[in-house]
Amino acid sequence: MPSKACSVALAGAGAYAAATAFLAPAAPQVNQELQVRHLRQQPAESSSSSSTGVMALGAAGVVVASAQAAKRTVRRAQVVRQATAVAEKTFTKIPASVKPGVVTGQALVDLLNYAKENQFAIPGVNVVSSSSVNACMEAAKKAGGPVMVTFSKGGGQFLAGKAADNSDDAASIAGTIAGALHVRQVAKLYGVPVILHTDHCQKAWLPWFDGLIEASEEYFEKYGEPLFSSHMLDLSEEPLEENISICKKYLERMAKINLLLEMELGVTGGEEDGVDNTDVDSSRLYTQPEEVWQVYEALASIPNGNFTVAAAFGNVHGVYAPGNVSLKPVILHNTQKYIKEKLGCDSDKPVSFVFHGGSGSSLEDIRYAIEAGVVKMNIDTDTQWAFWDGMNEYQKKNKDYLQAQIGNPEGAEKPNKKYYDPRMSLRSGEESMAERLVKCMEDLKCVDVL
């Protein structure tokens, strides 16, 4: 049996442990248990002074723990207040339905209509990691505009890990969902509207698409909104009738949970994420107004069905020198006029268009396309290069500190950990990508629009 003094000491140590149990990580708790066992192993002291000293030690532990717990409580309260303030932030220019964080449903429709009316386009950026996600939102925060964070099937698989089992697209589905959850956790902290989107899904990839919609349906049941904001179906390689039929089938399902559909007409040339259209017949690079009308007529008939159209007007994926891409944005203008006449409506731009494959396009063509109702433009190759360029510049700048763990121009025994820490080069990539994206947002007139 332990002495009375030892019992008091155990009580004090136990009280200290209890006071910190909800705040401290596991390691300190293990240390406390070791300290208690150490106390049990000490010989009992008979003097009252020792008893008093141990009692004081136990009481002091409780006081210290209580003070630390109070400080942590204050810090947590500050974090909650900051997060609440961001969530309650309102914008002065865009519709009141649009809040910081992921935008879905009617708020998304309001945002896209606002972009169309005010002639700016939202950049859509393909991401493959939390670093590229964060760079997107950092750029949006700096520019004062919304951004679309886009996951591709291959990007989703990369997020899950290339060694992960991708049977039945399991890794692609899991990685894309994981990326979406990351965006949802941090988007509000940047104080900007974020559209959570997925990119080209051809017919053979529909199992991936199905998995993502199922995730949004489950999310909708819990939170009253879909996990994602929108998804893209790229069935442009299929006959027009089949393209429209499949899109209509999916939009009927998506409309029930307020998911927006982006569909593609015609073919975007070049190659991206495993889809190679470099040798496609050039005539397929240009969509006809009649084709867009068939799509509009079919999809607009779906209750609560919201959609955008990626109509080809000479777009090509990849990097090309100015002058090598023959864009014809006048096709979009003519299409709007055609559909307005068909509908007999007042709006000059009844269709919301999206712009794929814009690298190498002149600023004049980009702006003219925006005037025709383009509300989103994909920005991929430029931002991917910018991320790499930032990391490469970091490597060149710090080359002498990146040759070994120890030893640099300052001394043979000087450590280099702070230079080869992955966060350093990745952060340089983020900064470079964000800087380039801000420039893109300026070109799209997506600056100070909130």
Q: Which residues are catalytic?
A: 199
Q: Backbone dihedral region of 373: left (phi > 0), alpha (psi from -120 to 50 degrees) or beta?
A: left
Q: Which of 188, 192, 194, 180 is nearest to 83 (CA)?
A: 188
Tell me the helices (H) and strands (E) count for the chain, helix number first: 15, 13
Cα(273)–Cα(279) distance, integer angstroms: 16
Phi/psi of residue 242, nearest 5 degrees = -70, -40
Answer for the pair 319, 361: CB distance below 8 angstroms, yes or no. no
Other beta carbons within 10 Å of 340: 16
Phi/psi of residue 407, nearest 5 degrees = 105, 120
Residues paired with 278 in a beta bridge:
none
The position carrying tokens 């959850």 is: 181
Which residue blocks in 235-286 are alpha helix, DSSP H?
Answer: 240-255
Q: How far is CA 316 from CA 17, 127, 351, 388, in A?
A: 63, 19, 22, 22
Answer for the pair 139, 147: CB distance below 8 angstroms, yes or no. yes
Q: What is the enclosing helix (H) or strand (E) of 15?
A: helix 4-20
Cα(191)–Cα(111) distance, integer angstroms: 15
Side chain identity, residue 377: M
Q: Backbone dihedral region of 191: left (phi > 0), alpha (psi from -120 to 50 degrees) or beta?
A: left
Q: Which of 14, 10, 13, 8 is nearest to 51 (CA)?
A: 8
